[in-house]
Amino acid sequence: MPELPDVAAYLRALETRIVGRPLEGVRVAGVSTLRTADPPLRELFGRTVRSLRRIGKRIAIGLDGDLWIVVHLMIAGRLHWRPAGTKLGGRRNLVAFDFPNGTLTLTEAGTKRRASLHVVRGTADLEAMDPGGIDVLSASLDAFRTALSRENRTLKRALTDPRIVDGIGNAYSDEILHAAHLSPIAQTSKLDDAQWQRLYEATQAMLRLWIDRLGAEAGEKFPERVTAFRPDMAVHGRYGLPCPVCGDPIQRIRYADNETNYCPMCQTGGKLLADRSLSRLLKSDWPRTLEDLEELKRK
């Protein structure tokens, strides 16, 4: 799922392409993608784009008359900038926004249609779509700590809950926790002052690093390589590969459609965290350290 740095890259590219230009039309091929009926799409036609906003992981496009287009890419949705009038062909192409200088398309890979398009009137309705998480880039340490410790949760859950933190998902939470040298299953109620300081600084540093990196990567082009798996990440998506800090193999916890990647040496004092699918199978034989894991592999 595109997260805060990815959405920031899209907004940067859209700023120079659509702000100050009229929206000539909207074509919807994926019927289930449009989630609102009032205001109708035709009311947008001919109105000029005046502003862009990020609402969590959503992209909000503001037009004349206080009308807003809100796009949520979910897991597999992506934006593309195409020549004006590009046709919507194929199952992946869901929506086209036509401008005089080009067409912005929304695509979604896979068979599940989760990406969404809303049209709302007024900033009150727009702000009602905000899950309520804090903006970590502008929050103070005290505000950050207060938000994450309001309920006792694991750090992984707290960082990825949009009602607590704005814009962080599976990928960047892994990177943040590795940079902070903290376990993904550490409880927010048990962190000491030094750990809170490390988590806060790592969150700010990682997000700013990737915002800058993705912006530099795209340059003046539209960002087409928006992905949660990047070779220069430290742990996310790197199961079994060496940690760039200590060299030990990255481990994972798998659950539902997600997995958490972490380095035992850097984050958990060398302890392996139980992976549900394997721990059910191995039960009491679950390896506790990397040495135990290697011994199990040799059997």
pLDDT, tens digit, 9 for 90 and up, residues 270-299: 999 987 554 443 344 444 555 544 444 444
Residue 258's pLDDT band (cuts 50, 70, 90)? confident
The correct answer on CATH 3.20.190.10 for the domain covering 4-127 is yes
pLDDT digits (tens, 9 = 90+) for 105-142: 999 988 788 899 999 999 999 999 999 999 999 999 99
Tokens, residue 41: 């799409």
User: In the prediction, which pLDDT does 288 show?
Assistant: 53
The structure's pTM equals 0.89
Place of tokens 């309001």: 150
pLDDT over 50 at 170, yes or no: yes
What does each C-alpha distance from 64 to 21, 124, 200, 252, 298 come to in angstroms?
A: 11, 16, 38, 48, 66
Architecture of domain 141-298: Orthogonal Bundle (1.10)
Q: In degrees, to the nearest 5, what angle opens at C-alpha 105 toward C-alphas 100 and 109?
A: 170
Say whether 275 sits in a helix, a strand or coil: coil
User: In the prediction, which pLDDT does 278 show?
Assistant: 46
Lowest mean pLDDT among 33-37, 229-233, 284-288: 284-288
Residues 148-176, mean pLDDT to the nearest whole number: 95
pLDDT digits (tens, 9 = 90+) for 239-257: 999 999 999 999 999 876 6
What is the helix (H) or strand (E) element at residue 213, kind and residue range?
Answer: helix 193-218
pLDDT digits (tens, 9 = 90+) for 64-110: 999 999 999 998 999 999 999 999 888 889 999 999 999 999 999 88
User: In the prediction, which pLDDT does 74 show?
Assistant: 93
Residues 20-43, mean pLDDT to the nearest whole number: 94
Give me the residue spans of the domains in the chain: 4-127, 141-298
Of residues 59, 71, 55, the one with CA closest to residue 133: 55
